[in-house]
Amino acid sequence: MEKKITTPYLSEEVKLSKNTPFHAFREIMKITAWRRLAHHPTCSQYKNHYFSFGKLKLCVGCTSLYSSIIIFFIIYGVEYSFFREFPIILAATFVVGCSSAIFHFIIRPKNKWIKAFLRILAGFGIGSFVGLIIFLRIWWLQVILFLLLAGGYLLYGLMRGVGSNLEYCADCPLHTAEIPCKPIKNTQIRIKKINEILASNLEEEKKKKERMKTKGRNS
């Protein structure tokens, strides 16, 4: 028996608690949060691609990667003298992190916790590579290594390909349903509706003020 797919992208309904620019902006931020924070549609098809903290959805890969980079930088800053004395630890951490990134790309794990673990190792690897750049203190070599790091990051993005964060949508049965589930289109429609509601309300307010001015002149 196939599991029922749950998705928030079938309804185009929008609700504003108040028709003000602030409330419209806040609602648009909520609607587009999946693109900025989860980086994947927040439906059941992608449940292994994001962490759920109540209504907050965060991308598993990015959250694990960048948080581990930050943690490594903190450790590096606190124990700087230790890493200066034993730079081999930086090199070993980089090798482990780089290997985990390659392994992740090859096996493409479905389980979010395996994915998170591999991304954490990759984050430590990136942090240690930056640590090695700082350790060397030879400016031209630092520039070369930094360019290699930036190039590797861009290459990884190209290898993943455009639209990789929507990889399950094409084969999803809801994609071709009577009411199709199309996250990007649904998001755009809802934003358009909010802007139309706001524009209509502002126009009504403008007309109301003009009527009051006209009434004041005639009285």
**58: helix, strand or coil:** strand
Residue 49 token pair = 């691609």
- What's the count of helices (H) and strands (E) in the chain, helices before strands? 8, 2
Same domain (yes/no): 136, 162: yes
Question: Which run of H or E residues covers position 153?
Answer: helix 139-160
What are the angstrom distances between the C-alpha of 206 and each of 19, 102, 209? 14, 59, 5
Asked whether residue 9 is domain-assigned, the answer is: no
Task: With respect to residue 56, please indicate whether it lies within any of the assigned structural domains.
Answer: yes
214 vs 172: which has the higher pLDDT: 172
The domain of 139 spans 31-168
Number of domains in the chain: 2
Dump the DSSP string for 73-102.
HHHHHHTHHHHHH-HHHHHHHHHHHHHHHH
Residue 88 lies in a domain: yes
Same domain, 36 and 118: yes
User: Are residues 148 and 202 located together in one domain of the fold?
Assistant: no
- Name, of 19-23, 121-125, 130-134, the range with top average pLDDT: 121-125
End-to-end CA, the chain: 74
For range 8-22, the mean pLDDT: 86
- pLDDT tens-place string over residues 160-170: 666 678 888 88
The rounded distance, in Å, linking the Cα atoms of 170 and 160 is 16
Which pTM value belongs to this model?
Answer: 0.82
Residue 2 has pLDDT above 60, yes or no: no
Q: Looking at per-residue confidence, does 180 or 124 come out higher?
A: 124
